[in-house]
Structure formats: C-alpha cells, structure tokens
A = this chain, B = another copy of it.
C-alpha cells in the first residue's frame, strides 16, 4: 500500500477547518486540496465527489451534536432534561455557527442513521413525561423544530439584537416545557 498521508477522515477533518474559518461557501475541493497540500483531483481517491463530502460533513457534525446532547441529558428528566438538551444544542451552534449551517436536512441515505440517533436522544429526554406512541413523536418533532429554528436563525445572524438572545431562549425553553406539561 502507498503513502497514506490522506484518508477520508482526514479529508473531512480539513473540510471542517475550512468551514469553521470561512463559512460553508468556502468549502471547495480546490481550497481543500490546497489546504491538504495536494492536487485537486487527488481528493477523488478519498471522496467520491463534493456532494459526498458534504454528506460526510453533515454526518460528522450531527453525530457530534448528538453526543453532546446525550451527555447533557444524562441523569436528568422532564423539564430539566429538556432545558439541558436545548442549552447544549444552542451551545454547539454558538460555538460552531458555520458548521451548523453546513448540515444538510435533505433526507440523504447516509443521514438516516445519525438522524435517528438524534431523534432517540430527544425521545429519551422526553421519557419522563410518559408520552405514548405518536404523542412522543410529535413532542420530539416540536422539540427539534424549536431548537433547530432558533439555532438556524442565530447561526446565520438572523436576529438583530444579540445582547438579549439568552432571554429569548429562556422563553423558548419555557414554551416547550409549558406545551409538554399543559394538559390537553
């Protein structure tokens, strides 16, 4: 076997750096090859094409977020678990806004497993509310929609006044738990 300087994982690593530094637009195979010290076509030995690279990035990032959410939920239940999960979600986004903006929501085959893993964590966080069957699904979807919606807007600078965002997010968390605990 030849010099294994690069590998699919290493390529994704470099791609993450590029995105962190210059945003999703900056992820081109040219720039990536330059960063790797390699000619552009060489990248095709490790990655099928640009679309696949984006997918690998999405998987990597989604997995990382899921890990952090799982960590945050550990040992908590009900309102506390939901609050911790949402806080961890936003913490990731504010730490890596470009990365978050990079993850694709389209239902690519490679994103199925990470998506389900994320869903499972949310269902686990909601376990204490005793929701059954599709009620749990609806609740998890709402949790995801709220956290994701706020995250997207914050990551892309969609909010005008940054000094109050913590308070806005507090209200959002209260909304979610109120919706989960209010009877009907």
Kindly report how many copies of this chain are found in the complex they form together. 2
Q: Which chain B residue lies CB-closest to A171?
A: B138
A172 to chain B, nearest CB (A): 5
Interface hub of A134, A138, A142 (most chain B Cβ within 10 A): A142
Once bound together, how far apart are the Cα atoms of A103 and B179, in whole Å? Answer: 29
Asked if A164 and B138 sit within 8 Å, CB to CB, the answer is yes
**Which residues of chain A in 137-152 are interfacial with respect to chain B, using CB atoms and an 8 Å cutoff?**
137-139, 141-142, 144-150, 152
Asked if A105 and B137 sit within 8 Å, CB to CB, the answer is no
Can you report 7 residue pairs joining A to B where beta carbons are below 8 Å apart? A141-B171, A142-B168, A145-B146, A146-B149, A146-B175, A149-B150, A178-B179
Question: Chain A: residues with CB nearer than 8 A to chain B?
Answer: 104-107, 134, 137-139, 141-142, 144-150, 152-153, 156-161, 164, 167-168, 171-172, 174-176, 178-180, 182, 184
The 10 closest A-B pairs by CB, nearest first: A149-B149, A175-B179, A178-B178, A145-B149, A105-B156, A145-B150, A105-B158, A178-B182, A138-B168, A141-B168
